[in-house]
Every structure is written in structure tokens, then in C-alpha cells.
């Protein structure tokens, strides 16, 4: 295309002419932005592009009704936000399993798992995969409706993210409108926002210049990922626009196709379609057939890693066939059909200045080496984990040793090995017999590598975690008591142990940051309401190691009363369904600690109560031995309420329908689970039928 600038447009005497010209300018600007940002093959000089952009800005200023959400002029704009709005993902943004074996055997292990899950024999055809880069950035969900970008959200906890649409609009590689003649009604694109290394260095150079000129509040960034994540979460989009961000697409969220429109049958087909619609897909992505080609991809990318213009911390393998992906399904919250295969982390030498023992929020005792500061994997490392006593003894790490330190997985620094030839002196590490924080016994369970503090309800190091666990919805439940509030109350000395929750007064709460009289009153009311609970919820809320929600329910059914549970021997505990020697020993260790029993008694004395019952026999319960699955929205019961009713009647609630399912409880908008149940001949119940079955009226 000619490098001459385009002639200025005549707006014409009518709004219709202005609308037509604005539409032409938007089309041309979208086209040239794609050529520039995605294809890296511009057709216009910058001056010509800038003139077209200015023309569109002038048109939209003169005719505000012409402004549309996907206009190129909307890439930067809008007032700073006070905070980000929450977004519930239509399809959860799940994480994938990490293969920490950085050798070729890691790829072979993944392929072997896939073949085993699919029931393939050694002489069956190799599985086809898509091999991709594992970018070191921030996962983002882009939502397009009828081709226009309407929302961008962070991963968050996988279920809920933050609305960062204004900031994502500033990224030139992300099209505001898909290049599709008939775009899907809904298309959610999953991908990674990242910062190129050269852009990162240029940004830091600008930051250093600002600091040298005396600018306040400015700082340099540690690595490209942190800089990218910070830019995405800027409340002011004008600041985000100054941070040079990039984007790669690699997957999908919710997709709604137009009637009669066929979807690709493979992951690779979707990536090609996304690329055709104007979304950037990494050039290194390729098809790989069988484990050997995965190994080859891992090796080749590893050789190219330092030369890439952006950071990666591994590669990702995904089964290409969407039908096989569906067949493989998920384990917990990770897909069986995908894995991230890491590379060895960077390593450096440094000196061990001390070995401390840290007590984690859950009571785990971890020996930590205090190190002479060393720059590894993009950060300055001053501490490194030794994991546990066995690992510290195996590596024989001692005070004053010269060690090789590594950022394992580019995240957690660890000591890899000692250089014994440089050893000065020092004794082998020994785990203390008592918690260094509270003095409770340090316990190491049979078959476990870790030592743990046994003073769960008493230990200050576990205080915040104990309160949060006790107050969560599935335990005793204190609405409104979240992380920040607990941190404030503990740091202010208002709560030292759980019973202090029930001694809080209005004046104490009003002294906390952002705590008005109404919110303080609401919290006190929620605390008062939490005094009425169930034995199962209370036992779960105590945070006893290995005692999850289901185990707490079994204990409550079996013993009926807390005193009987607290005094039960290990043999008596092992008579409870699904409880073995490890859980029984954990329960006895917990209740044998005098301070734990004291906390329990104080809670009861302060009014925490529940209906005491006689020990129940599961064999006589209505749903004893039955497996049920819940799907859809029930008329009056929440999912948790229905589950609790089923379990109280002796039943088990599963997450997916199979031949072992006895009943499917179906509500409004029941989907694929209902179809599968009908196919397998599983009995389908509505809410009244479920209640009738539990109460013996049907």
C-alpha cells in the first residue's frame, strides 16, 4: 500500500454520511491494527494510521451517538475505577496438572496416563496432541458477543474473577471485534497476557529515569510477569495503557454457536479458527503424535527458551480430539487430557547463614535456610525451603555451608545440594521436639514426611487459619468474617484464640479499619447466630488434621455426642465408616492436647451448642448404601442443603453419573447429567420425590 497519507474525509451535511464514514474508518483501523499488532506486517506508516484515528475521534466527538464499544478509539478511556467488579465465569477457569519431571520421562508418563485412561493397547494408534508454550503471564478470559469484546476477566479463584475490561482494551493484539463474517453469538477466549522481555526492559528503564528525576511512588519491576499482572490490575486504564502488554490465545470458555453452525472437532481446529478471527496464537504451537514427538517438542523449545522474546516456564500438552477430551474428563479440578511440562529452573551458589523452623498456617513445621542474598530466576532470594527433616538430613545442609539454590518451578526457592568441599563446620539439622512458636508437641505421623504442631487451636502461627476455617460456610459459618477482617482482629490483639470471637464487643470492633457501627452490629449478630450449629459442622470447624467435612459427618452420626467422640480410643474411632489408623491417631493426638480440649470447653461454655443425639446406625437409614447425583436448580433446596439431607439419610453424593449411580436428583435446567442418567437407566427424582424417599412417604 502507498505510504501517502489518506485525504481528509468530508463529513458531509447529514448524520447518515457521518455514520457511513465512521464505519469505514473503524473497519480500516481494525484491519491495520491487526496487521501491525498480530501479524507484525504493517501496510501503513504510523502517520497515516494516526490521521485516520484522529478523523474517527473527531467524528465520534461531533456525533456522540456514533460511539460504539468496539471502536478503536475505546482502547484507552474511561475514568479510574474505585475497585474491580467481580465476574462469575460461565465455565470455570481450571488449572492443569504440572509435570515436575523435567526429563523426557515426564512426557512419556503423561502419554502413558492418557493411553491407560482411554483403554488403549500397546499396538493401538498413537494419540495426537497439541503442544503449546506455557507462558509466564496472567490468565485472562475474553468474552465476545456477536463478535464484539464485551468483557475481560482475570482467572481469580477459577470460579470468580475480576472485571478488567478497560485495561484489556489497551492491548493492541486483542481485537475489539472479531474478523468474522458471522461471529458466534457468544465466544469466550482463554489466553495469557504477558510482557515481552524488550518491553519489560524499556519499561524499567523509564521507571529508573522517573526515580532519578525524583518522582514519588515509582518503582522498578522484578520480572515481566509481575509487571504484566500489575498493569492488568491497574484501576486507572490510562496507566495500564502505558505498560506494553501482549496476548496469546490458547483455549476456550463458554461458546454459543449460531443455529446450524458446526464447531471444530479438535483443539487445533479451534486455534486455527481463533487465528482466522484475528486473535494471536503462538507460532510455536504444533501438532504432536505420540510421546516421542512430545519429547522432541519439549527439547526443541528448551533449546530456544532463552532466545524467545518472552518468558516461559514450560510447555503444555493437550489431547487434540475434543471427543477424547470429553471421554478423559477431569480428576478433582484438573483435566486428565492436559499437562504442563516444566523445565529445570535456574541455579546459583550462595551461603547458608542460619536454619530456622517456620510454622505454617496449617501447623506444618518447615526447616528454612536463611541465605546470603542471591539473584535467581528473576528475583533476589534470601530464604530457601528444606522441605522437611528427612530432606534436610539427606542433603546434609548445615550452618555456613555453600549451597546450590534454585527457584523450583520458578516459584519456590529451594536448596538443591551442598558443596561439602567448601564446608567450614556445623552440626546436622535436627527438627525440634516442640513447636518453636507455642511449645506444643511436634508430631510426625507414621508414613508422613512432615512434622506438625499439635496445638491447632492454641498455636499463634495457626491462629488466623484456625479462625477462618472455623468461620467458613461449611463449618460453623460466621457470615462476613473474611481474611482481611480476621487479620485485623488478630493483629490488633482482639482475638488470641477461637473463644475470643464470642467475647467481642461493639466498641472493640469499631476501632478496626473500615468498620462502621452497622457492619460491626451485623458481624456480632452473625457471631451470635453461629452459636447454634450441628455437631458435624463443629467438629469440622475445629480443623483437625485429616478430618474433612465428610469425615466429620460420619463421626457425628456414629457418636452422636461430642464427649463420646473426645473420649473414644483409637480402636473405637476406627469402628467409624471410612476411618483408618491415620485419622484415628490424628483425632486422638488433637484431643489429647490439654489446650485443645480447653478451647473446646470454652466454646461450649460461651454458648456454642448443637442437638445431642444417640449414636446412629447407618444400616437403618433411608438412603444407606445409595449413591446420588444432583443436577440443575431445585425449587426450595440449595445444592448444599440437598447434599446434607442425603448424607444425613445415609446416602453418598457423587459429582458425575455412572453405572454405580442409584438416583439422579434433577431440578430446573438439568443438562448432560440428566441425559446420561436416562441413557444408563438411572432413576430420576425431583425434589418432592427425594424428600419422600428420605422421610419414607414414597
**Active centre residues (catalytic):** 134
The span from the CA of 467 to the CA of 541, in Å, is 9
Measured in whole angstroms, the distance separating CA 86 from the mean position of its chain's CA atoms is 15
Sign for the CA dihedral angle at 350, 356, 358, 363 comes to: positive
Residue with cell 504444533: 286
Sign for the CA dihedral angle at 613, 617, 622, 623 comes to: positive
- The CA–CA distances, whole Å, from 185 to 144, 147, 189, 483 equal 8, 7, 13, 39
What is the Cα gyration radius of the chain?
A: 30
The span from the CA of 95 to the CA of 371, in Å, is 32
Query: Exposed, middle or buried: residue 611 (CB in 10 Å: 0-12, 13-18, 19+)?
Result: exposed
Per-residue DSSP letters for 505-546? -HHHHHTSTT--HHHHHHHHHHHHHTTB--HHHHHHHTT-TT
CA atoms within 13 A on the CB side of 647: 20
Measured in whole angstroms, the distance separating CA 420 from the mean position of its chain's CA atoms is 40
Residue with cell 522441605: 387
For residue 681 the three cell numbers come to 437407566
Taking a C-beta distance cutoff of 8 angstroms, is the pair 130, 117 a contact?
no
Beta-carbon neighbour count of residue 464 at 10 Å?
17
CA atoms within 13 A on the CB side of 122: 0
Taking a C-beta distance cutoff of 8 angstroms, is the pair 422, 401 a contact?
yes
Amino acid at each position: 500500500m502507498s505510504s501517502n497519507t489518506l485525504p481528509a474525509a468530508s463529513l458531509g451535511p447529514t448524520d447518515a454520511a457521518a455514520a457511513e464514514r465512521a464505519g469505514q474508518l473503524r473497519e480500516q483501523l481494525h484491519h491495520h491494527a491487526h496487521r501491525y499488532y498480530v501479524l507484525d506486517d504493517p501496510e501503513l506508516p504510523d502517520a497515516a494510521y494516526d490521521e485516520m484515528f484522529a478523523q474517527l475521534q473527531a467524528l465520534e466527538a461531533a456525533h456522540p451517538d456514533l460511539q460504539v464499544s468496539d471502536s478503536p478509539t475505546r482502547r484507552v478511556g474511561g475514568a479510574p475505577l474505585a475497585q474491580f467488579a467481580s465476574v462469575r465465569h460461565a465455565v470455570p477457569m481450571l488449572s492443569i496438572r504440572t509435570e515436575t519431571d523435567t526429563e523426557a520421562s515426564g512426557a512419556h508418563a503423561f502419554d502413558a496416563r492418557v493411553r491407560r485412561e482411554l483403554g488403549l493397547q500397546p499396538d493401538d494408534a498413537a494419540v495426537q496432541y497439541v503442544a503449546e508454550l506455557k507462558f509466564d503471564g496472567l490468565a485472562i478470559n475474553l468474552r465476545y458477543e456477536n463478535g464484539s469484546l464485551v468483557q475481560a476477566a482475570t482467572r481469580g479463584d477459577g470460579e470468580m474473577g475480576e472485571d478488567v475490561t478497560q485495561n484489556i482494551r489497551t492491548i493492541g493484539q486483542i481485537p475489539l471485534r472479531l474478523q468474522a463474517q458471522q461471529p458466534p453469538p457468544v465466544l469466550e477466549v482463554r489466553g495469557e497476557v504477558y510482557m515481552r522481555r524488550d518491553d519489560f526492559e524499556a519499561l524499567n528503564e523509564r521507571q529508573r529515569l522517573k526515580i532519578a528525576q525524583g518522582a514519588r511512588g515509582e518503582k522498578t519491576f522484578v520480572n515481566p510477569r509481575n509487571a504484566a499482572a500489575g498493569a492488568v490490575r491497574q484501576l486507572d486504564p490510562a496507566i495500564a495503557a502505558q505498560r506494553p502488554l501482549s496476548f496469546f490465545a490458547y483455549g476456550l470458555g463458554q461458546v454459543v454457536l449460531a443455529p446450524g453452525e458446526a464447531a471444530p472437532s479438535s483443539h487445533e481446529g479451534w486455534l486455527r479458527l481463533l487465528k482466522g478471527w484475528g486473535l494471536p496464537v503462538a507460532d510455536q504451537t504444533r501438532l504432536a503424535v505420540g510421546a516421542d514427538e512430545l519429547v522432541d517438542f519439549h527439547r526443541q523449545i528448551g533449546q530456544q527458551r532463552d532466545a524467545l522474546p518472552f518468558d516461559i516456564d514450560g510447555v503444555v500438552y493437550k489431547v487434540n480430539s475434543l471427543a477424547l477430551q470429553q471421554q478423559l474428563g477431569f480428576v478433582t479440578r484438573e483435566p486428565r487430557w492436559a499437562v504442563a511440562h516444566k523445565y529445570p529452573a535456574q541455579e546459583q551458589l550462595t551461603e547458608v547463614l542460619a536454619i530456622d523452623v517456620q510454622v505454617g498456617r496449617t501447623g506444618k513445621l518447615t526447616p528454612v535456610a536463611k541465605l546470603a542474598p542471591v539473584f535467581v530466576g528473576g528475583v533476589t532470594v534470601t530464604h530457601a525451603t528444606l522441605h522437611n527433616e528427612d530432606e534436610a538430613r539427606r542433603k546434609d545442609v548445615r550452618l555456613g555451608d555453600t549451597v546450590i539454590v534454585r527457584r523450583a518451578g520458578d516459584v519456590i526457592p529451594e536448596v538443591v545440594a551442598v558443596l561439602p568441599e567448601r564446608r567450614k563446620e556445623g552440626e546436622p539439622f535436627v527438627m525440634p521436639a516442640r513447636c518453636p512458636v507455642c511449645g506444643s508437641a511436634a508430631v510426625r505421623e507414621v508414613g508422613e514426611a512432615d512434622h506438625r504442631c499439635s496445638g491447632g487451636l492454641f498455636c499463634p502461627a495457626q491462629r488466623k487459619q484456625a479462625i477462618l476455617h472455623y468461620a467458613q460456610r461449611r463449618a460453623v459459618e460466621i457470615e462476613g468474617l473474611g481474611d482481611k477482617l480476621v487479620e485485623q482482629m488478630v493483629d490488633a490483639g482482639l482475638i488470641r484464640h477461637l473463644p475470643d470471637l464470642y467475647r467481642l464487643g461493639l466498641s472493640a470492633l469499631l476501632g478496626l479499619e473500615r468498620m462502621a457501627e452497622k457492619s460491626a452490629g451485623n458481624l456480632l449478630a452473625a457471631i451470635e447466630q453461629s452459636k447454634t450449629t450441628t455437631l458435624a459442622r463443629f467438629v469440622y470447624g475445629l480443623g483437625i488434621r485429616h478430618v474433612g467435612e465428610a469425615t466429620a459427618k460420619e463421626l457425628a452420626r456414629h457418636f452422636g455426642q461430642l464427649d463420646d467422640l473426645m473420649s473414644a480410643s483409637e480402636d473405637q474411632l476406627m469402628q467409624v465408616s471410612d476411618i483408618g489408623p491415620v485419622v484415628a491417631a490424628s483425632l486422638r493426638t488433637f484431643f489429647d492436647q490439654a489446650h485443645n480440649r480447653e478451647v473446646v470447653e470454652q466454646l461450649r461454655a460461651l454458648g456454642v451448642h448443637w442437638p445431642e443425639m444417640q449414636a446412629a446406625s447407618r444400616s437403618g437409614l433411608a438412603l444407606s448404601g445409595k449413591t446420588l447425583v444432583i443436577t440443575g436448580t431445585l425449587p426450595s433446596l440449595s445444592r448444599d442443603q440437598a447434599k446434607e439431607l442425603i448424607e444425613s439419610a445415609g446416602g453418598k453424593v457423587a459429582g458425575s453419573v455412572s453405572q454405580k449411580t442409584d438416583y439422579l436428583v434433577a431440578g430446573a435446567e438439568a443438562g448432560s447429567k440428566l441425559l446420561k442418567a436416562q441413557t444408563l437407566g438411572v432413576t430420576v427424582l425431583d425434589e418432592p420425590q427425594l424428600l419422600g424417599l428420605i422421610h419414607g412417604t414414597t
